[in-house]
Amino acid sequence: MRAYWKLKSDRDGSGIVLENMEKKIDEAGTLESLEKIRVEIFGKKGMLAAEFAKMKDIPGPEKKAFAEGLNRLKAQLLERFERRHAQLEAEEMQSRMRAEAIDVSLYAPNGVKGALHPVKDTMDRIVDYFTALNFSVESGPMVEDDFHNFEALNLPKNHPARDMQDTFYFSDGTLLRTHTSPVQIRTMMKRKPPIRIIAPGSVFRRDYDLTHTPMFHQVEGLVVDEKAKVSFANLKWILTDFLHEMFGEVDIRFRPSFFPFTEPSAEVDISCIFCGGSGCRVCSRTGWLEVLGCGVVDPNVFEAVGYEDVSGYAFGLGVERFAMLIHHIADLRSLFEGDIRLLEQFR
């Protein structure tokens, strides 16, 4: 028992010192001072070690009782130490949390707000329009093969778009997709009609000037259903409504055009939003701005993906062009220079 040990140690007074240790532990005010006390008591050269060293001088019959008493006291001190340690740890955590607390309700007059990049913002608006009409959003790889990017889209082997001058090829024959139309092919090959999708994403062409960058973004759309359900009239309605949503009350005209993957094909113009149609520098004095390509899906495309007895329409647009028109941006390249001053205008 402790009493026994106290009795024993009273012989040389060291028991009193050890007793005091309990008090010392309880009074330690910080983890740091507690650590010093731990070394003093439990360390290799600490008091307990010194007490245990005395054992060799204690006569045989009393040795066992002495050791037991000392071990019991050690256990007691250890428990005391651990309890105090846990207390101090919790206290220090509390005071650290108090010290590091921030007041999120403080008024910050000069806080800098971020802004969506105009391309991202425009892309979101386009995607929102079509998803509201139940189009689903599809994506595909940017590194494409010849079949999905060209062949299945009825782009013949000698088509200029396939030229090294226009397309980025890799040595294994794959290429950076030149449009997001391959996503249409991929979707049709893994799914049965009806199809109603848009394919937003980055595309790549060898081009660099005021209105062209080697990477830009497209949104393409595709609708496929039974023959009686899809017509050029549907296409015309949806694109007219879409363009009014994006550009407000503009005039819209469909101009006959050509794409290998659609027949008939059209390009869509809006009346110039800068001069209202009277002719200016932006519309090259024509009064019109071209904003979309579209058409009724060519039967050769359906044949390539194994579709029969269906009809469809498709359209494609350049997101940067929309962003430039909506935000009156003169140089397309400024959209990709990462100059924070450009973004600051769109907060």
Binding site for ligand PHE (CB under 6 A): 179, 181, 220, 259, 262, 293-295, 314-316
Q: Which is nearer to ligand PHE, 33 or 202 (CB)?
A: 202
Q: Which is nearer to ligand PHE, 259 or 302 (CB)?
A: 259
3-state SS class at 291: strand
Residue 286 CB, shortest distance to ligand PHE, in Å, is 20
Q: Which is nearer to ligand PHE, 9 or 149 (CB)?
A: 149
3-state SS class at 316: strand
* CB contact burial 190-228 (16+ within 10 A = b; e otherwise): eeebebbbbbbbebbbeeeeeeebeebbbbbbbbbbeee
Other Cβ atoms less than 10 A from the Cβ of 38: the count is 18
Q: Which is nearer to ligand PHE, 24 or 179 (CB)?
A: 179
* Nearest residue relative to ligand PHE (C-beta): 316
The token pair that represents 330 in the structure block? 């003169």
Q: Which is nearer to ligand PHE, 204 or 288 (CB)?
A: 204
Q: How far does the chain reach from its first CA to its final CA, in angstroms?
A: 77
- Answer for the pair 8, 66: CB distance below 8 angstroms, yes or no: yes
**Beta carbons within 8 Å of 81's beta carbon, 6+ residues apart:** 25, 34, 37, 38, 41, 42
Residue 276 CB, shortest distance to ligand PHE, in Å, is 27
Residue 143 CB, shortest distance to ligand PHE, in Å, is 17
Residue 174 CB, shortest distance to ligand PHE, in Å, is 18
Q: Which is nearer to ligand PHE, 15 or 193 (CB)?
A: 193
Residue 307 CB, shortest distance to ligand PHE, in Å, is 16
Residue 287 CB, shortest distance to ligand PHE, in Å, is 23
- Helix (H), strand (E) at residue 326: helix 319-327
Instruction: Give the pairing of strands 136-137 and 195-204.
Output: parallel
